[in-house]
Amino acid sequence: MERIELPQYLLLLSALPVLMLAMAYASWWKKRARSQMGLKTPFEVLAPQVSVRRNGFKALVSLLVLGLMAIAIANPQSGSKVETMKREGIDLLFAIDVSNSMLAEDVSPNRISRARQFVSECLDRLGGDRVGIIVYAGEAQPQLPITSDLAAARLFLSQVNTDLVNSQGTAFNEAIDLAVTMFGEESLHSKALIFISDGEDHEGDFNTSLKAATDKGIRVFSLGIGDERGGPIPIRDSYGRSLGFKEDGSGNKVITKLNEAFLQSLAAEGGGVYLQSKDNKKTVSALLDALSDLEKTEFESRLYTDYEDQFYWFAGLALLLVLLDVFLIKRKTKWLERLFQ
């Protein structure tokens, strides 16, 4: 298994095209300046021993060195040791509402961001549990299959936004059905499904789906995101600039409110508890206390526990190119003239 230890340094590679354009412009400017001297081949007359093509090659070598050093600093690694570890925990599925109402800013910074923050804090405090993520609006979609890899869970969580599902609405029934499928028919683990939503615009009859889930031993919890007083739904362009607020057919602002009664009934019928996200840390503690009643099951997980650094391959190649650049003089030489002229 391969990974990058410090991926942020790969951003240095984005500077290479800019440097390449700058070098190309400098070369063009020098050529133009030489042509204005009034001679047919002024540079060749004044400096007959300098190889123009070799200068370009040296510039290319410099760019390759910079690129290789950026990769070396990022430190690619390969997994060299795999251990099978025994862990105890439960299976958790976070079902996150990504309908447009989750853009409301009645909680700071907005509902969808508060939902991501809540799940992130849960991931920080989980022990040996396995997790998965569902996103839903007018339909439900899997965002992350159930896994013990919490680093992958954080990555997929960061990509959760209201653009993931095109159809609007709040299809709790589809999310429950999808959760049953993702948990699997043969799973012997304790299972918990956690809805994170404002509870608005729920559609369809979810009672049948909820009963099917509870019959399979799935406990359903709910977390209310928002305020009962509600707030408008902002509209922004692709650059994040405000374009106003969503309006109804009469030109009035649409006010979205937390439907706490619905979420309470969902949790009660699902055998779980309802929580409201006013303070994420306290809410996470309350959720984990409620989940502690579930029986933990032992399972195996394969983890890469030892990684070998691979940066020296890139650093070594960069060093060779630096040496080549040092010994590759700009003057023409007989043995290199055929290659670089």
Q: Where are the domains of the chain?
A: 2-75+310-340, 83-301
Token digits of residue 279:
């303070």
Q: Which residues contact 139 (CB under 8 A, 6 or more apart)?
A: 165, 167, 171, 174
Calpha distance 79→303 (Å, rounded): 9
Choice between 326 and 309, residue whose per-residue pLDDT is larger: 309
Question: 169-207 pLDDT, tens per residue?
Answer: 888 999 999 999 999 876 667 899 999 999 887 666 778
CATH number of 83-301: 3.40.50.410
Amino acid at position 59, single letter:
A
With a CB cutoff of 8 Å and minimum separation 6, the contacts of 273 are: 221, 267, 286, 287, 290
Residue in 170, 41, 56 with CA at minimum distance from that of residue 102: 170
21-30, 54-63, 143-152, 155-164: which has the minimum mean pLDDT? Answer: 54-63
Helix 52-74 and helix 311-327: axis angle, to 10°?
160
User: Which residue did the predictor score with more confidence, 133 or 31?
Assistant: 133
Q: What per-residue confidence (pLDDT) applies to 307? A: 67
pTM as predicted: 0.63
Res 171: pLDDT: 85
* Closest of 38, 168, 146 to residue 95, by C-alpha: 146
Confirm if 220 and 271 have CB atoms less than 8 A apart. Answer: yes
SS3 168: coil
Q: pLDDT band at residue 340, thresholds of 50, 70 and 90?
A: very low
pLDDT digits (tens, 9 = 90+) for 77-118: 876 665 566 667 889 999 999 999 999 998 989 999 999 999
d(CA 250, CA 273): 39
